[in-house]
Every structure is written in C-alpha cells, then in structure tokens.
Amino acid sequence: MAYRWPDDTVFTRLALHVEEQWCQTCGCRLRVCDHRHRRVFTLHGPLHVVCKLVHCPERGCPAHPRTLSPEAETALAMPWWVLGWNVGCWLGHRRFARHWSVGQLRAELADTYQIRLSDDAIERSIHRYQQMLAARQHDPHLLAAAYADVDAVILAIDGLQPEKGHETLSVVRALERKRVWCAEALLSSTAVEVQQLLAQARHWAERLGKPVRLWMSDTQEAFVRGIAAEFPGVPHRYGANHCLRDVAEPVLDADSRAKVQMRRKVRGWRTIEREVLAERRPSEQPLLREAPSEASQADVVQADEDTQEVVLDYCAAVRGILNDDQGGPLHPPGLRMAEAVGDVHASLQRNLEAKKGGLLTSVWRVERTTLTGGLTAVHDAQEAIRPHVADVWAIQATLEPDGGTGAERQAQFQVLQEQFQQSHDPIRQPMGRVMASLAPGLFVGEEEADMPQDTLDLERWFRQPKGHERRIHGHRHAGVRLVQEGPTLLLALDAHLAHPGPFTGAD
C-alpha cells in the first residue's frame, strides 16, 4: 500500500540523470523518453526524486526497447521503498545494536526527523534490513577476508530452545572470530537433521580452504554422531560447563528436594503483610501538631509506622529468598536459600535480644513464621549434601586451565572418577558413571595454546537474541519470532557485535 504523504509536506526536488550518454550498441546519443517520480524519506528531509529515463532513439538498434534509469537512484533507496538508505540503516542500527523497541523508534523518528510511520511499516523495514545484513554476513569475499590470517578454524554448535514446545534453534559458530556461520530452526534434534546443518558448516570450511582443527559442543548424541560422520578424524571437545552440570545432576536433585521441604515450612509471610497493612490504614489520617499532646501522639504514630516498615522489609526479604533459583552446580540453590534464611533468622534474634520497645512485638510476630522450623527440617539433608558440593568443586578444579597442565588435570579427574565409581554412596556412584562417559571428550585439544576452553561464551551470547526479541513491543511472543526469524536474526545481531558504527547503503 502506497504511503499517504501529508498535504503540508515540503519536499526537496532532486533530478537524477543517467550517467551513460551514448548507446553501447550503436554509439547513438541516448534520448530522454520518460520521467519517473518518487518520494522518499531521508534523515535530512523528504525528497521528491525525478529520474530521467533514457533509451536509444534508433529503432533498428537492438538496445532500442531497453530503458535505462539513473544508477544514483539505488544509492538513495531501493526500488519501491519509501525510506531512504540512511533511514533504513538508522532503524537497523538502533534496533540490533542498541536494542530499541519499535515504540522508541517510532517516537524518535517522529520527534527528531518528523517521519511518521506505523509499527507495521517499521517492522517491515527492520525485517528487510535484517535479511540484507544476514546476506552480507554470508558473502564469500567478506568471509574470506575475515579469515585470511587464520590457519585453521575451531567450530562450536549449540542449540537454543526459544520457548517450551518450539523448535530448537541450532547455531554453528567459529570461535576464533566469534562469528555465526549458520543457524537453522530444527523441527527435531535428530541425528539426520543436525547432520545436515553440520554438512553446511563443512561446505563453508571447504569454500574458505581452512581445515577444522577442533569441534566443541555438549554431549548431545546427535551432535556427537553428526560431527563424527561429517568431520572424521577431527577432535571433538565437550564443553566443560555442560559436563559439570551433567556430573552434578544427582547433587542438584537432592538439593532441590531439600529446598522444597524448606519452602513448605517457611510460610505465612503474606498473612503478616496483610495484618500490617490493615493496621496502617486507620493511622493514615492528617496529623494536627497544634498542641503538645497531639505532637506526642504523632511521634507514637511515626514510631509505629517505622516498626511496620521494618516488618514489611523482613517479609519482602524472605519472599525474595524463597523465589531465588540461581546458583548452579557450584552453589546449589537450596544451600543458598538456607544460608540466606539463616541470616534473616539471626537478624531477628538480634532484634529480640535487644528488646527495642515497640519493635519487639512485631519482630516476634515475624519470628513465628517458622524460620527455625524450616532450617531444622532440612538441616540433616543439607549437611549430607555439602560434602558432595565439595566433590563438584574438586571436579571443577580439574577442568580449570589454571589448575595445571592438561595431563595433570586429566590424571586428577581420573583419580576422582575411580573413587566415585568405587564408592557405595548413592550420589557419588552416578557421578562417577557420568564422569566416565564424559572423560573421552573433556581434555581433547589441550595442546592448543589459543584454544577456547568452553562454549560458555556462546551460551551467554544466546541470551542476547532472546532478550532482544522480548523487548521489541510485547505483541508477539519471543519464541515464535526466534523460530521464524532466528537464522537471519542471529546473523544480523552478530554483524553489529563486530561493527562499531551504523552500516550504510553501500555496505
């Protein structure tokens, strides 16, 4: 649908001429046969572009039916676009580099440049920019220039599930340049589909003429089999962060069960908050300070309000602790929760022992919410978990590059593995079995001095496209957008990571 320009729009007229004046076939001088008018938004104001079209006037010339238009027109805007290149690149840079939402882009265009566009028009322009930038990232000449001084490449593959139930977005990335090579939303992570993506990566490496020195991934069976089939003889290293989570899974399961037990005991905080808020409502009356007695009453009311704020702060702190699921295998969430609840319990106890007047009753009322009961209920279970957390830390030490040479750390890992496998502990035994299955790929490539130790940077990078899509405007689910646009979206975001300024039409 054509853009409806406001009647009061003031245009700057620009006439464009064909650069070539003579027919390349017969040598006759070209003649103007028509004019094409178009109106384009630019950051410097709206333009009325008049393109003078020419053709060869000789009817017998084979080039006579062909009409030529000025090449300078495409330097202003693509055919049929209402936005000039500088506006389109401005939108793309702020969307993909600065992560502006569509609402922000629309408001800034209207306020600063007097360009009024709908959300749909802005989204269409961004989508076109995204596709063109993805094509630029796949340009063979630019890619060859980027890897001109690289002897061999190290590739990593990982998958991002945008939301539960959606297709997994699998991405192949070269770790030396931290550059996305290809991405595809796979309907299922079967070995056949994953192998097709790996075959595409092999074609890229062959076209660049660069050997693949190493592969990195998690231990997903489709990845392991696909890499072995498409890259026979290439070492395959497992990501240490993935492996640590797999090894620590029995510990985290036990920690999770203890955490659930604590949550069941530590309850009643919302009830206390309701009681405090109900007590505050009658006191929310204007205070008259004309008489000393009334001033004394105001001091009492203020002291009560301060006490109520303290109680509400305690309630908010405990609610935040109970909702905290962070920590990972090295800092299990249940142990973190118990430590934080213990800190709150100690703080309440100090207030009770201080006997601070009006604060005493309120603090004692908070203490009745069975903090002590929650800590007691999980004490034995968590004391049993702590030695296993120390085991996870010992395994982590063998995976850290600073812990010694690769051979030394591999030997330490082997010793721990044998100890756990020979143990009768119900948690250490499965940990030992997982360590044995992961051992063949954990220390591969240790001789490479410049080899990245993990795909953790790729895992963190995956948060960027997900957050990028969530902030766009909220009308469309982030998971759907990532599945539909992921293969080009990731390339567009990746392009702006290595490009400090805005791209231009020439780019």
DSSP state letter for 288: P
Name the region of 357 (left: φ>0; alpha: ψ -120 to 50; beta: rest).
left
Find how far residue 246's CA is from the centre of its chain. Answer: 23
In the numeric block, which tokens belong to residue 406? 């690769």
CA 199 – CA 193 distance, rounded (Å): 10
- Element at 77 (helix H, strand E): none
- Element at 217 (helix H, strand E): strand 212-217
**DSSP one-letter string for 422-465:** H---TTHHHHHHHHHHHHHHHSTTTT-TT--S-SHHHHHHTHHH
Residue 310 CA: distances (Å) to CA of 110, 209, 222, 273, 348 = 47, 67, 55, 11, 11
CA 273 – CA 279 distance, rounded (Å): 10
- Element at 294 (helix H, strand E): helix 292-322
The answer to whether residues 426 and 253 touch, using CB atoms and an 8 Å cutoff, is: no
CA 2 – CA 98 distance, rounded (Å): 30
In the numeric block, which tokens belong to residue 273? 């908050």
Q: Residue 1 has what pLDDT?
A: 57
The answer to whether residues 179 and 210 touch, using CB atoms and an 8 Å cutoff, is: no
Give CA angle at 356 (351, 362), nearest 5°.
70
In the numeric block, which tokens belong to residue 238? 């497992």
CA 335 – CA 316 distance, rounded (Å): 20
Task: Summarize pLDDT for 124-159 with one digit per residue, the tens.
Answer: 999 999 999 999 999 889 888 888 888 888 899 988
**DSSP one-letter string for 163-190:** STTSPEEEEEEETTTTEEEEEEEESS--
- Element at 44 (helix H, strand E): none
Residue 396 CA: distances (Å) to CA of 325, 413, 467 = 21, 9, 29
CA 504 – CA 499 distance, rounded (Å): 11
Q: Residue 34 has what pLDDT?
A: 92
In the numeric block, which tokens belong to residue 474? 């909220």
**SS3 label, residue 62:** coil
The answer to whether residues 17 and 52 touch, using CB atoms and an 8 Å cutoff, is: yes
DSSP state letter for 476: S
Short-list 237, 201, 204, 232, CA closest to 218: 237
In the numeric block, which tokens belong to residue 270? 């919302």
Which residues on neighbouring strands pair with residue 170, listed in sequence order?
159, 184
**SS3 label, residue 28:** coil
Q: Residue 300 has what pLDDT?
A: 46
- Element at 354 (helix H, strand E): helix 333-354
Q: Which residues of the chain have pLDDT under 50?
A: 284-292, 294-295, 297, 299-301
Q: Residue 362 has what pLDDT?
A: 58
Cβ–Cβ contacts within 10 Å for residue 141, how many?
7
Amino acid at the residue 268: G
